[in-house]
Every structure is written in structure tokens, then in C-alpha cells.
Amino acid sequence: MVNSKRKKGVRMKDLKHLEYFENLLQETNNDLVREAQGEGRKAIGYTCYQIPEPVMNLPGCFSLRLSAPRVGGIEMGTYYMTSMTCEYCRALVERNLEGGYQFLDGIVAAASCSQLADAHENMEKHGITDKEGFFIEHVDTPMKSDENAVNLIKTICEKRIFKPLKENYGIDTSDAALRKAVEEHNEVCRLLNAIGEYRKLDNPPITGYEFAVLTLATYTCPKDKLVKKLKETLKEIKTREPDENYKKKYRARVLVAGSEMDDPEYIKCIEEAGALVICDRYCFGQNPGRNEIILNDDEDVLTQVCRQNVMENQCPRYMGQQKIKSRKDYVDKLAKEYKADGLIYQQMKFCNFWGYERAACSHIMRDEYGWPVLSLDRPYVAANSGQLRTRVQAFVESIEIKKIQGGAR
């Protein structure tokens, strides 16, 4: 149980392990990745939530979601991808041209959108690594959440992931091995969600930026190597005194939803503008990516893992009317649960799917669900955040005015 009765403090002390987690995000080939590879484990990169994580975290290998931290210019990526494509995709191509993914032992390249598929093809064409056994598998992903989609993902996992893992590296792909991977996945999810529960408090003892750093680390590092410090962080937060000046520092509580976001500096910028991020629904975020996978003994593990991935998926790639409506219901539910004052819908500039999803939600969530909504499109890196800060400040002020006038939320 989260204890809502806390003593007032002057200022929250820095989290003991925050700098450690921040440093892990500075490089794709970070200390924990190198440590795991030094133990003989294989690093399998992937770029999209559409591929279930546990299938790449079998004993002897681990998954890491690819990003391009601290990328400078993306001129070469733009040259090969054009300036009208998603900057995340261009940044991946740029980092690959720099040799940033040579340490990988394999890549599962989900063709979740045409731009991501083009990025994967560019990476393969220019060469990724010459390591023995390296593979890149281009895989399709469904657009509907039904049993046919479950069977598609299951077949992809068997033929495009399990097969090269077993043939190239001798990885055990049995039901028992996958069940063990799910157990390790669930342990990390439980810890992160327990920390996330404290974000529901009126004066949370953790900021959105801090939580974003912790969450991102669970996608980009071997999960088992994070458990100890996540446990210590949870214990620390249980007794951490929140800011005494919380109400002055944060004048609104917001949920951030949208496309791929692997730069916590965006969350920091939003919070510096006066909006505390108390919940997320974006790629690389907590919801739904850090839900536990509950298994039964009546069905094989792979089918269950694939079914949860398909049925809980909140990507706008899924086109069914029920799924379109459920995405908005899901954000509404989270916002109420975490006591948000407003929503921020953001998208990576030129993102195909989130382009229309953001445009639609900016009206529907306001007109039909009654939420104040800020709609943003943004670059990949938060280097030039002045405009973002100004827009968030104006949004916070509009929420304050509605509260004063007694308007909706």
C-alpha cells in the first residue's frame, strides 16, 4: 500500500541511483550490455513494441530497444532517408553509419511502418556488423487485434526469431525457457509499477523525469541486471520526502501520450515549464509496455505472450474501430486514475500513424472526453526546447484559468 500521509520536506533529495541510470542511457552499448556480452550472452536489438520482449530474453540472450542517444546532426541519415521522414528512423541510420551498432548479435526489424522498414533496409544495405552469427530479420506486424494476428506474431517469433537464435547461437527456445524469460520480465514490471504507484499521490515522491529514466533503462539494458538497483530505488521512494514547494513548482498534472520517446529531456522540459508528468502512454513508456504477462498452464507460453502483445497493444497501426475507440478510453482511464489535469499528445515529426492519431485525439479527447489537450509535433532530440517550453507554459496557464473559472477539469 502507498502511504499518502507524509511529512513536509524542503526539497526532495536526489535519488541515490539516478545518475547510474542516466549514465546507462548515454550509450546504446552501455556498461550493462558490455557486461552481459562479456558473460557470453547475445545482444538482440529491436525497434518496436510489436515484437514481444520475452522472446528475445531467453537464457543466453537479451533484448535492447535501439535508440541513438546523444546523436548530433542526422545529415547522412537524411541523405539516405530524405528530410520528410521520421527523425527516429533517420537517427538510427545515422548511428549505424557511425558504426554504433557493431556490437549487436542480431536485429529483429519490425516493419511497423514504411519509414521504419526503410531504415532497417538502409542499415542492412550499408552493413551493421561483421560479427559471426549476426542476423537481421525483417518481420511484418498485424493491423488488427484478433486471433489471426496472434497466430501471425506467433509464426514470426517461431520462424524469424527462435530459428536464428537456435541455429546461430544454440539458444534454448523451449516453453520452459520462455516461461523463465516471462518471469524475469514480470519481476522488472512489478518493481517499476510499484514505483509508479507513488505517482498517483497528490504530492508524488518521484518526478516524471526520474520515472522516465528508470523506465527507459528497462528497455535498453539486460533486465536482470537492473533488479537490484530498482529494488533499492523502490525502498528509497517509500520514505522519500516530497518537495514542500510542490504546488508552486508544478501547477498542473499531465499525462503524456504519443509516439516513440527515448529522450527523458523532453519530460524534464515539460516539468520545468510547470507541468508534472504523472503518467505516460507513449512508446518506450510504462503503459502498456510494463504490464505483467500472466500465464496459465492450459496453453503454450508463446501463444499467451503473443496474445497479450496483440490485445493490449495501443499502437495507432491497429485500425479496427473497436481498437481506435479503446485507445482513447485507455488514455481517459489512466488520466483519471493518476488524477491528471490535462493531456499532452505528442508525435515525432513526420510519424505516419501518430500524425493522424494526434490530430484526431486533440479534438476527440477535448470535445468528447472533456480533457484539456495540448497537441505537439517534435524533433527526435530535445536540443531546441524553447518553443516546447513556451507552449507547455501556456497550456498550464489555460488549465489554471479553467480551474479558477470552475470549468471542466
Cell matching residue 405: 473559472
- In sequence order, which residues have a C-beta less than 8 Å from that of residue 265 and are 6 or more positions away? 382, 385
For residue 164, whether the previous peptide bond is cis, meaning omega lies within 30 degrees of 0, is: no
| Parallel, antiparallel or unpaired: strands 342-348 and 135-139 | unpaired
d(CA 146, CA 227): 34
- Reduced to 3 states (helix: H, G, I; strand: E, B; else coil), residue 135 is strand
d(CA 264, CA 280): 12
Q: What single letter denotes the amino acid at residue 145?
A: S
CATH 3.40.50.11890 fits 42-169, yes or no: yes
Q: Domain segments of the chain: what residues?
A: 42-169
Q: What is the Cβ-side half-sphere exposure of residue 295, based on CA atoms within 13 angstroms?
A: 19
| Parallel, antiparallel or unpaired: strands 342-348 and 252-258 | parallel
- Provide the whole-model pTM: 0.94
What string of pLDDT tens digits covers the 409 residues of the chain?
555 454 444 578 899 999 999 999 999 999 999 999 999 999 999 999 999 999 999 999 999 999 999 898 899 999 999 999 999 999 999 999 999 999 999 999 999 999 999 999 999 999 999 999 999 999 999 999 999 999 999 999 999 999 999 999 999 999 999 999 999 999 999 999 999 999 999 999 999 999 999 999 999 999 999 999 999 999 999 999 988 888 889 999 999 999 999 999 999 999 999 999 999 999 889 999 999 999 999 999 999 999 999 999 999 999 889 999 999 999 999 999 999 999 999 999 899 899 999 999 999 999 999 999 999 999 998 766 788 999 999 999 999 998 888 755 5
- Reduced to 3 states (helix: H, G, I; strand: E, B; else coil), residue 275 is strand
d(CA 351, CA 283): 12
| Parallel, antiparallel or unpaired: strands 61-65 and 42-46 | parallel
